[in-house]
A and B are shown apart, each in its own frame.
Chain A
C-alpha cells in the first residue's frame, strides 16, 4: 500500500506538471513595444522600451513578431556623445540598442492612429509585414507603453493623447476579431493605473508603475550623457528579467512584486480580474518569451517534388544579336533640343482680342451708333 500511495502521488504530480505544460493554450508570441516621447530629454523612455525589447528578444521572440515603435531617435541623435548606443545603467554598462535592432515605426510615424491601427489590424493594404501585428486567436501578446501620461490619458509625441477608453475599446475590437489569446499590458508612466481602469475584455492582465495621483520617477541621471537614463520601474523590471531564462519557472506573482514602494517611491499596481487563469500559474515566459511546444510524431511525411528548373535560354540568342548600350548620362545636345512637353491647350493668339471686338460690335449694333462717340 505504501508503494501504491507513492505511485498515486507520483502520477498526480506528473499530471499537474503536464497540465501546467498544456494549460496556457497559446502557440505563438507577439510583442508591441511603444515609446511615445520625443526630444532628447526623454532619452529614458527610449531606453525603457529598448530594455524590454532586449529582454523579449533574448527570451526568444524573433524580430518578425515584435512591433517596435520609437518616437524619436536617441542613438544617432547629434547630442549623443556615444553614437549608435543607448545605455540603461549608469557608467554605461549595458547598451540596450545593440547591434541588430529593427525599429518598425520611427519618428513621426508613431501616432495614436498608427498605434490603434496596428492593434486592430486595420492597416492600408500596402503596409509591409514587419509593420503589422499578424496575431491570431492563439497568440499571447505583450504590450508595453512608456512616456508621459496623466489621469486617463497617455501623451504621444507631445502633440496628441490616447485615452483609456480608446485603449479599452481597441482591446475589445481585438477580442471580437479574435486577435489574441491572452494579453499582458504593462505601462510605465505617471498615473499609469488609470490607463487600465476601463478595460472590459476577457483575458487581459495589466501592470502599471504608479497609481492614480502618483508620479513615476526616473532612476538616475548620467553626467556624461546629461539626461536620466531610465525610469525606476523599468530599471527594476529589467533587473528582474535579466534573471529569467527560457526555461525558468518564474510566474506572474513574482512580476507583481517587482519594484515595491521602498524602491520605486510610487506604488506599482496590477489588475487580474479579467484574466481567467490564476496569475501564480502563468509563467513569465508565456508573455516575454517564445517557448515553442514541440510535438513529436512518428509518421513519415512525403515532401513535394523539387522545383522545376528554369528553361534554358537557348532560343533567345538568335533574336537579340545587336549589342545593347549604356545611355549617355548628360546628352547636352539632346537636352537643348528636347521637344517641349505637352502644354495645356490655350486658344490661339489674338482669339481673345477678336472675341471682345465682336462683342463690342454687336453691342453697338443693337444699341445704336450714337453710343460710339461717348467712347472715342
Chain B
C-alpha cells in the first residue's frame, strides 16, 4: 500500500518535472523580455505584457530590433521624448569568430561594436547622456579633441607563418596611436595628458609614454575612419614593448562593455583561460564612420576587440577537440539584451563536406564573406534567436577533428627581425620581409622606431632583394636626439615577386647615466616592433561597398579597390643588452679604498715621521736619593 503510494507520487513528480523543464526555457525568455522592457524607457510595459500570449519567437524578433521602435510609438510626456532623442542614436553589436588553425590551435576573435550617432565636436552643448557608449571614453574624446584612438594590449607574438593573418593585428606589449583634430594647438601637451588618463582607465603604466618613445610617422598610419585632411603633425604613435597584460587590464576593458561581463558573449571572458594561451590581445578602436550608406554624416564607432589563440597542448592536452566550454570554461545562455545583433561565426571553409571536423550543433545558417583577400564560408549561430540554445538553454559549440588537415597556404606577406653582432659595443639590426606571391610585386611601407640609446648609423643602411640592391622609392628618416627623441625610419620598398628582402643597419650602444637604468638592467632593453604596411594583391575581388549588414570582422579596414587588401604585419620586438655597470661597485670601491688608505697611509706616515728615542733604565733606590740631594744642591745629576 505504501509502495503503491510512493509509486504514484513518483509518477506525479516525473510528470511535474517534465512539464517544468520546457516552461523553464519560457521563463528564461520572459525574463529576457522583461529586461528588454526595462531598457527601453517608455511607459508602455502594459502593452507588451498583453501580447505575451503570442509565440515567444515573434516577441523576441520584435524585441531584438532596436528598442526605440516601441519607444517611438509611445506618446508619453516630455521626459520620455527627450530620452527618445538620445536613446535612439546608439546601437550595439557583438560577434565571435572561431577559426581553427592548421597547427591544431584555435583562434577566437571577439568584436564588440557600439555605434553612436553623435558628433562630439559639432554639438556645441556638452554631451551628458551616455547610454551604451562608455562615459569615461566619451569624456576623454571630447576633452582632448581626439579624432581617432587605437590602443592595444598584447601578450605573446602572432606567428604569421603558422597561423596566417589576424583580423586585427597588434604588436607585443602596449601600442597607442592617436589622430587629433586639426583644431588642437598643443598636440604634445594633449598627448601627454591623454596617456596619463588612459593609464588610469586601463590600469596600465602608459604614463611611461613620453617624448623619448613617441614618434610622428609620416606615411604609415593613415586614419582608419572618415576624414579628408591627413596632416601628420596631428598623429602620435608610441609602443611599450615591455608592458605586461594581465587581469587588471581585462577588468576595466570588460567594464566598458554595455552588458559588462554579465550577459552575451562577454560572459566567456574568463581571465584564467584567456591568459593561459599562446596569444592574447585586447584593443579599443574609436573612429568616426559613416552613419548610413549615403555617408552624409558621421557617427562614432567604438570597437572593442579581443583576439586569443588557444594552444593545442596547454589548453586541450593534445586532443584535437575544441568546445566553448574547453576554451572559456563556460557556455552561452543568452545574448546581450542591449545588442541588436549577437552572432557566432565558425570558419568551415576547409571543411566543405564535413570530412575534416565535425561541428555540433548543426546550424542551417551559412554566410560567405571576403576577408583578407580570401572568400571564406562561415556557419552562423544567431544568439538572438531562441532556438540556437536548444533544449538545454545553453549553447556549447563542439568541433571534433576527424582527419588531418593538409599544409597551410603560405601567407603572402611575412616579416622577421633580429639583432646580429657580438659584444656590448656594436650590433646590427636585420629586418627580413618575405613576399610569397608567385608573380606579383607590391610595395610595402616599413616603419622602424628605435630608441635613442641604440645609435643607428644610417650610412650603413642597405636594402637587398634577391642579392641585388633595392633602392626604396621613399625614405623618411628623423635622427634621434639623446634623451629627447627616438629614431624614426620609414621606407617604401617594392618587393619583387617570390623573394626575400633584407634591410640591415648597424648601430652602437650608448652608455646610460646610472640613474637611467631600470631596477633590473641585466634583463635588457626592448626595442619596439617594426610595422610593415602593405596593399597585398587579393585572390578574390574585395567588397568596396559599405553596408550595414556586413559582419564586423570584414568591415574593419575600409576597402578602396577590389584587387588588393590592406594588411599590417608587426615584427618581433628586440631585446638588446646595453653595457651595464656593476651597481655594487661604489660600495666595493669605498671599502677597498678606505682599507688601502688606512693601512698604507698609516704605515707610510709612521715611516716618515717616527723618531726613535733611547729609553733610560730606571735607577736603583740609593742613586735616586743621591740624585734628589744633588738636585737640591744644584749639582749635576748622576747617569
Complex interface: chain B residues within 8 A of A317 (CB): 296-297
Instruction: Please tell me if the beta carbons of A107 and B558 are within 8 angstroms of each other in the complex.
Output: no
User: CA of A109 to CA of B222 in the docked complex: distance in angstroms?
Assistant: 33
User: CA of A76 to CA of B153 in the docked complex: distance in angstroms?
Assistant: 13
Stretch touching chain A among B31-39, B57-65, B121-129, B378-386: B121-129
Q: B424 interface residue, CB < 8 Å from A?
A: no
A163 to chain B, nearest CB (A): 17
Residue-wise, chain A 305-339 has the 8 Å CB interface mask toward B (1 for contact) of 01111111100110011111111111110011010
Instruction: Please tell me if the beta carbons of B271 and A107 are within 8 angstroms of each other in the complex.
Output: no
Q: B272 interface residue, CB < 8 Å from A?
A: yes
B49 to chain A, nearest CB (A): 27
Complex interface: chain B residues within 8 A of A311 (CB): 123-125
Residue with the highest number of chain A CB atoms closer than 10 Å, among B127, B203, B225, B492? B203
Q: A278 interface residue, CB < 8 Å from B?
A: no
Complex interface: chain B residues within 8 A of A101 (CB): 247-248, 251
Q: A161 interface residue, CB < 8 Å from B?
A: no
Residue-wise, chain B 197-235 has the 8 Å CB interface mask toward A (1 for contact) of 101110111011000000000110011111110100000
Instruction: Please tell me if the beta carbons of B519 and A338 are within 8 angstroms of each other in the complex.
Output: no
Complex interface: chain B residues within 8 A of A97 (CB): 247
Chain A residue at minimum C-beta to C-beta distance from B124 = A311
Instruction: Please tell me if the beta carbons of B85 and A309 are within 8 angstroms of each other in the complex.
Output: yes
User: CA of A73 to CA of B227 in the docked complex: distance in angstroms?
Assistant: 41
Question: In the complex, how many residues of chain A place their beta carbon closer than 8 angstroms to a beta carbon of chain B?
Answer: 59
Q: B618 interface residue, CB < 8 Å from A?
A: no
B389 to chain A, nearest CB (A): 25
Chain A residue at minimum C-beta to C-beta distance from B125 = A310
Residue-wise, chain A 116-141 has the 8 Å CB interface mask toward B (1 for contact) of 00000000101111110000000000
User: CA of A321 to CA of B296 in the docked complex: distance in angstroms?
Assistant: 6
Complex interface: chain B residues within 8 A of A306 (CB): 79, 82
Chain A residue at minimum C-beta to C-beta distance from B534 = A330
Interface Cβ pair total, 8 Å cutoff? 174
User: CA of A102 to CA of B251 in the docked complex: distance in angstroms?
Assistant: 7
Residue-wise, chain A 94-107 has the 8 Å CB interface mask toward B (1 for contact) of 00011111111111
User: CA of A322 to CA of B443 in the docked complex: distance in angstroms?
Assistant: 32
Instruction: Please tell me if the beta carbons of B192 and A316 are within 8 angstroms of each other in the complex.
Output: no
Complex interface: chain A residues within 8 A of B245 (CB): 76
| B276 touches which of A39, A82, A109, A127 (Cβ 8 Å) | A82
| B230 touches which of A76, A104, A310, A327 (Cβ 8 Å) | A327
Question: In the complex, how many residues of chain B place their beta carbon closer than 8 angstroms to a beta carbon of chain A?
Answer: 73
Chain A residue at minimum C-beta to C-beta distance from B583 = A159
Instruction: Please tell me if the beta carbons of B122 and A84 are within 8 angstroms of each other in the complex.
Output: no
Complex interface: chain B residues within 8 A of A326 (CB): 224-227, 558, 560
User: CA of A274 to CA of B591 in the docked complex: distance in angstroms?
Assistant: 41
B220 to chain A, nearest CB (A): 9
Instruction: Please tell me if the beta carbons of B535 and A102 are within 8 angstroms of each other in the complex.
Output: no
Instruction: Please tell me if the beta carbons of B244 and A329 are within 8 angstroms of each other in the complex.
Output: no
Instruction: Please tell me if the beta carbons of B223 and A128 are within 8 angstroms of each other in the complex.
Output: no
Instruction: Please tell me if the beta carbons of A99 and B519 are within 8 angstroms of each other in the complex.
Output: no
Q: B507 interface residue, CB < 8 Å from A?
A: no
Instruction: Please tell me if the beta carbons of B82 and A106 are within 8 angstroms of each other in the complex.
Output: no
Instruction: Please tell me if the beta carbons of B196 and A127 are within 8 angstroms of each other in the complex.
Output: yes
Complex interface: chain A residues within 8 A of B196 (CB): 124, 126-128
B534 to chain A, nearest CB (A): 7
Q: B246 interface residue, CB < 8 Å from A?
A: yes
Instruction: Please tell me if the beta carbons of A324 and B566 are within 8 angstroms of each other in the complex.
Output: no
Q: B445 interface residue, CB < 8 Å from A?
A: yes
Residue-wise, chain B 428-449 has the 8 Å CB interface mask toward A (1 for contact) of 0000000000000001010000
Q: B346 interface residue, CB < 8 Å from A?
A: no
Known contacts A102-B251, A109-B207, A310-B125, A324 near B272 by CB under 8 Å: no
Complex interface: chain B residues within 8 A of A323 (CB): 294-296
Q: A189 interface residue, CB < 8 Å from B?
A: no
A132 to chain B, nearest CB (A): 9
Instruction: Please tell me if the beta carbons of A128 and B199 are within 8 angstroms of each other in the complex.
Output: yes
B140 to chain A, nearest CB (A): 11
Complex interface: chain B residues within 8 A of A75 (CB): 246-247, 275
Complex interface: chain A residues within 8 A of B207 (CB): 109
User: CA of A325 to CA of B557 in the docked complex: distance in angstroms?
Assistant: 13
| B557 touches which of A108, A316, A329, A338 (Cβ 8 Å) | A329
User: CA of A98 to CA of B86 in the docked complex: distance in angstroms?
Assistant: 37
Chain A residue at minimum C-beta to C-beta distance from B197 = A128
Complex interface: chain A residues within 8 A of B230 (CB): 327
Complex interface: chain B residues within 8 A of A298 (CB): none
Known contacts A99-B271, A329-B222, A335 near B445 by CB under 8 Å: yes
Known contacts A84-B272, A325-B226, A307 near B155 by CB under 8 Å: no
Instruction: Please tell me if the beta carbons of B533 and A329 are within 8 angstroms of each other in the complex.
Output: yes
User: CA of A153 to CA of B409 in the docked complex: distance in angstroms?
Assistant: 61
A278-323: which have CB < 8 Å to B? 306-313, 316-317, 320-323
User: CA of A316 to CA of B296 in the docked complex: distance in angstroms?
Assistant: 11
- Dominant secondary structure at the A interface: loop
User: CA of A75 to CA of B276 in the docked complex: distance in angstroms?
Assistant: 11
Q: B26 interface residue, CB < 8 Å from A?
A: no
Instruction: Please tell me if the beta carbons of B276 and A316 are within 8 angstroms of each other in the complex.
Output: no
Instruction: Please tell me if the beta carbons of A108 and B251 are within 8 angstroms of each other in the complex.
Output: no
User: CA of A98 to CA of B557 in the docked complex: distance in angstroms?
Assistant: 36
Complex interface: chain B residues within 8 A of A324 (CB): 226-228, 290, 295-298
User: CA of A40 to CA of B139 in the docked complex: distance in angstroms?
Assistant: 39
Residue-wise, chain A 331-367 has the 8 Å CB interface mask toward B (1 for contact) of 1100110100100000000000000000000000000
Residue with the highest number of chain B CB atoms closer than 10 Å, among A85, A309, A321? A309
Chain B residue at minimum C-beta to C-beta distance from A320 = B296
User: CA of A327 to CA of B274 in the docked complex: distance in angstroms?
Assistant: 35
Instruction: Please tell me if the beta carbons of A328 and B82 are within 8 angstroms of each other in the complex.
Output: no
Instruction: Please tell me if the beta carbons of B251 and A106 are within 8 angstroms of each other in the complex.
Output: no
Residue with the highest number of chain A CB atoms closer than 10 Å, among B199, B298, B492, B519? B519
Complex interface: chain A residues within 8 A of B227 (CB): 324, 326-327
Known contacts A76-B244, A84-B275, A324-B296, A336 near B197 by CB under 8 Å: no
B87 to chain A, nearest CB (A): 11
Chain B residue at minimum C-beta to C-beta distance from A130 = B200
Complex interface: chain B residues within 8 A of A131 (CB): 199-200
Known contacts A84-B276, A107-B205, A330 near B271 by CB under 8 Å: no
Instruction: Please tell me if the beta carbons of A310 and B520 are within 8 angstroms of each other in the complex.
Output: no
Instruction: Please tell me if the beta carbons of A85 and B560 are within 8 angstroms of each other in the complex.
Output: no
| B244 touches which of A106, A127, A327, A330 (Cβ 8 Å) | A106
Residue-wise, chain B 483-506 has the 8 Å CB interface mask toward A (1 for contact) of 000000000100000000000000
Known contacts A38-B519, A82-B276, A323-B295, A130 near B566 by CB under 8 Å: no
Known contacts A38-B520, A109-B205, A329 near B251 by CB under 8 Å: no
Q: B613 interface residue, CB < 8 Å from A?
A: no
Complex interface: chain A residues within 8 A of B201 (CB): 128
Instruction: Please tell me if the beta carbons of B519 and A325 are within 8 angstroms of each other in the complex.
Output: no
Instruction: Please tell me if the beta carbons of A308 and B125 are within 8 angstroms of each other in the complex.
Output: yes
Instruction: Please tell me if the beta carbons of A157 and B519 are within 8 angstroms of each other in the complex.
Output: yes
Q: A246 interface residue, CB < 8 Å from B?
A: no
Instruction: Please tell me if the beta carbons of A329 and B200 are within 8 angstroms of each other in the complex.
Output: no
Instruction: Please tell me if the beta carbons of B86 and A126 are within 8 angstroms of each other in the complex.
Output: no
Known contacts A84-B276, A323-B294, A332 near B199 by CB under 8 Å: no
Give 3 closest A-B pairs by Cβ, nearest first.
Answer: A128-B200, A309-B82, A326-B558
Give 23 pairs: A residue, B residue, CB < 8 Å, sorted on A: A38-B519, A75-B247, A75-B275, A84-B246, A84-B272, A102-B252, A103-B248, A106-B205, A106-B248, A130-B200, A307-B82, A310-B86, A310-B125, A316-B297, A324-B226, A324-B227, A324-B228, A324-B297, A325-B226, A326-B227, A332-B492, A336-B474, A338-B474
Chain B interfacial positions (CB closer than 8 Å to A):
79, 81-82, 85-86, 118, 122-125, 127-129, 155, 192-193, 196-197, 199-201, 203-205, 207-208, 218-219, 222-228, 230, 242, 244-248, 251-252, 270-272, 274-276, 290, 294-298, 443, 445, 473-474, 476, 492, 518-520, 533-535, 557-558, 560, 566, 583
> Beyond A84-B247, A97-B247, A109-B205: 10 further Cβ-contacts under 8 Å?
A99-B270, A103-B203, A108-B518, A159-B519, A306-B82, A309-B81, A310-B125, A329-B558, A335-B492, A341-B476
